[in-house]
């Protein structure tokens, strides 16, 4: 009798344990389905606020945030391109970035601050938080015009190649820098970008710079950004009055030498 | 070096893997924070390897682009107050770290950890602040940080 009771109790315990495990598996399965749903994404939906993830850049590439004064590796400069880079770097070290000239496209990307992507009927629009810069990428099938004046931000067109958004741009005015280090841009530059939303939260862009004036061959940088669904962009315009006040209060307190605002000849 | 009673936070050598990883993370973080220093602090530089901690009284808090600024009276060993100029990152970055324009007011007694100017001037870049109520705020970060 005692054995029978013990056997029944054991059987009941096993049954309860089975039920608990089964329930747990059901819950786990449900959680997994929820996670799958959260991870689902439309590869063609690039809208939202994207924050740079520079630590994801592959090793061995030119690092646009290698700002110690001696970036390594360097792009494949032509002799003329190297001379312009050295001149630009000297200019930047003297405080040249305190001016409010537009950054151009790539230097905006390589500033470690977020940008937002908006879509209209015929354009993908980028709004860069830092210095409030805007870029239009035309998506209506047009070609890059041949009869327009070059600009800091150039002229950009984009189309989908399967799940990759391909952007071509040209008509740069050669006055901006490619990166914060002062890598030069000429009016001959043609820039290609291949954008891929590689998962729900990650955007990967491979930039290729083809500028025969400054670089011996086309070269590339791979960048990554993370989607920040809960963010809004903040106001950060470049205003000379605010920069002058900062300069007066911080830089002068640090006894910095006078600045050389004369721009190098970047043509 | 600066003539003040300051607490240095030198990195301690250690063979433990976790500390090594934390160290790499710290260096990576400092590299990110170097960007605005390069951007706005001209040809000068901060001693990012040797952060210091200062206790003092806020004399002014400027909430403005390109970088906010905290002005802090810190008494030296002789009791004389020296007014430090301590810059931060931009308001947009500070907001994401929990700051607002009301975070600091003149008269607040606070503790700030900063990286000082290499020139030995009372100028620095904020890393962390301990507010009068004991709560802490970081100086924010630029870009996503690597997973720890």
Whether residue A109 is found in the same domain as residue A142: yes
Chain centre to alpha carbon of residue B60: 16
Whether residue A104 is found in the same domain as residue A125: yes
φ/ψ of A56, rounded to 5, equals -85, -5
pLDDT digit of tens for each residue in chain A (267 aa)? Answer: 444 444 444 444 444 444 333 333 334 444 444 555 557 899 999 999 999 999 999 999 999 999 888 899 999 999 999 999 999 988 887 665 557 888 999 999 999 999 999 999 999 999 999 999 999 999 999 999 999 999 999 999 999 999 999 999 999 999 999 999 999 999 999 999 999 999 999 999 999 999 999 999 999 999 999 999 999 999 899 888 888 888 888 877 776 654 444 455 544
Cβ atoms of residues A219 and A62 within 8 Å: yes
Whether residue A163 is found in the same domain as residue A245: yes
Domain hosting residue A72, numbered range: 48-251
Chain B residues within 8 A of A235 when measuring between CB atoms: 92
> If you average pLDDT over residues B44-72, what whole number do you get?
93
- Domain CATH for B131: 2.40.50.140
Whether residue A113 is found in the same domain as residue A35: no
Domain hosting residue B99, numbered range: 13-138
Whether residue A32 is found in the same domain as residue A57: no
Q: Is residue B8 part of a domain?
A: no
The predicted structure's pLDDT at residue B92: 96
φ/ψ of A190, rounded to 5, equals -120, 120
Q: Is residue B49 part of a domain?
A: yes
Q: Is residue A267 part of a domain?
A: no
DSSP secondary structure, B26-54, as one string: HHHHHHHHHHHHHHHSTT--B-TTS-EEE
Whether residue A64 is found in the same domain as residue A168: yes
Q: Is residue B66 part of a domain?
A: yes
- Domain CATH for A170: 2.40.128.20
Question: What band does B44 get if pLDDT is binned at 50, 70 and 90?
Answer: low
Number of domains chain B contains: 1
Whether residue A60 is found in the same domain as residue A15: no
Whether residue A6 is found in the same domain as residue A52: no
Lowest mean pLDDT segment, chosen from A57-61, B31-35, B94-98, B130-134: B31-35
The predicted structure's pLDDT at residue A258: 44
Chain B residues within 8 A of A52 when measuring between CB atoms: 143-144
Residue A215 Cα distances to A103, A104, A106, angstroms: 20, 18, 16
> If you average pLDDT over residues B113-132, what whole number do you get?
94
Angle CA A52–A139–A101, to nearest 5: 50
Whether residue A105 is found in the same domain as residue A230: yes
Q: Is residue A120 part of a domain?
A: yes
Q: Is residue A229 part of a domain?
A: yes
Q: Is residue A231 part of a domain?
A: yes
CA nearest to A242 within chain B: B65
Q: Is residue A259 part of a domain?
A: no
Mutate to test the interface with B, among A180, A199, A254 (most CBs of B within 10 A): A254
Chain A residues within 8 A of B42 when measuring between CB atoms: 93-95, 98, 251, 256, 259
Whether residue A7 is found in the same domain as residue A72: no
**Taking all residues of chain B, what is their mean pLDDT, rounded to a whole number?**
79
Residue A263 Cα distances to A214, A257, A267, B12, B96, angstroms: 18, 17, 11, 44, 35
CA nearest to B125 within chain A: A250
The predicted structure's pLDDT at residue B30: 41
Whether residue A57 is found in the same domain as residue A133: yes
Q: Is residue B114 part of a domain?
A: yes
**Among the partner residues A53, A68, A93, nearest to B144 by beta-carbon distance:** A53
Q: Is residue A264 part of a domain?
A: no
**How many interchain CB pairs under 8 A, A with B?**
107
ipTM over 0.95: no
Number of domains chain A contains: 2
Residue B54: name the closest of B11, B12, B109, B119 by CA.
Answer: B109
Whether residue A144 is found in the same domain as residue A194: yes
The predicted structure's pLDDT at residue B107: 98
CA nearest to B119 within chain A: A254
Q: Is residue B6 part of a domain?
A: no
């Amino acid at each position: 009798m005692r054995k029978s009771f013990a056997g029944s109790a054991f059987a009941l315990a096993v049954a309860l344990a089975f039920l608990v495990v089964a329930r747990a598996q059901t819950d786990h399965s449900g959680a997994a389905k929820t996670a799958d749903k959260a991870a689902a994404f439309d590869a063609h939906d690039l809208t939202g606020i994207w924050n740079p993830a520079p630590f994801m850049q592959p090793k061995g590439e030119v690092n646009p945030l290698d700002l110690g004064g001696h970036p390594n590796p360097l792009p494949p400069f032509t002799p003329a391109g190297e001379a312009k880079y050295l001149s630009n770097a000297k200019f930047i070290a003297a405080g040249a970035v305190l001016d409010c000239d537009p950054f151009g496209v790539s230097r905006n990307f390589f500033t470690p601050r977020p940008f937002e992507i908006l879509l209209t009927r015929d354009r993908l629009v980028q709004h860069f938080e830092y210095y409030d810069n805007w870029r239009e990428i035309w998506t209506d099938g047009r070609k890059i015009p041949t009869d327009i004046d070059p600009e800091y931000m150039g002229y950009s067109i984009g189309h989908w190649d399967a799940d990759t958004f391909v952007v071509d741009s040209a008509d740069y005015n050669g006055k901006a820098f490619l990166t914060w280090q002062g890598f030069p841009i000429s009016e001959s530059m043609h820039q290609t970008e291949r954008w891929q939303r590689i998962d729900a939260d990650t955007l990967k862009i491979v930039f290729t710079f083809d500028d025969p004036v400054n670089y011996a061959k086309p070269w590339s940088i791979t960048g990554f950004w993370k989607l920040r669904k809960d963010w809004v962009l903040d106001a950060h315009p470049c205003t000379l009055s605010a920069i002058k006040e900062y300069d007066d209060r911080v830089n002068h307190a640090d006894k910095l030498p006078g600045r050389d605002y004369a721009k190098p000849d970047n043509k | 070096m600066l003539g003040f009673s300051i607490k240095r936070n030198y990195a301690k050598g250690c063979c433990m893997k976790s500390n090594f990883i934390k160290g790499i993370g710290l260096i990576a973080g400092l590299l990110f924070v170097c960007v605005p220093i390069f951007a706005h602090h001209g040809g000068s530089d901060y001693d990012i390897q040797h952060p210091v901690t200062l206790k003092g009284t806020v004399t002014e808090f400027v909430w403005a682009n390109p970088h906010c600024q905290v002005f802090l009276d810190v008494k030296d060993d002789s009791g004389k107050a020296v007014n430090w100029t301590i810059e931060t990152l931009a308001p947009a970055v500070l907001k994401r770290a929990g700051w607002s324009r009301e975070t600091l007011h003149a008269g607040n007694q606070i503790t700030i950890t900063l990286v000082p100017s290499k020139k030995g001037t009372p100028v620095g870049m904020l890393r962390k602040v301990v507010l009068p109520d004991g709560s802490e705020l970081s100086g924010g970060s630029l870009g996503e940080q690597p997973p720890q």
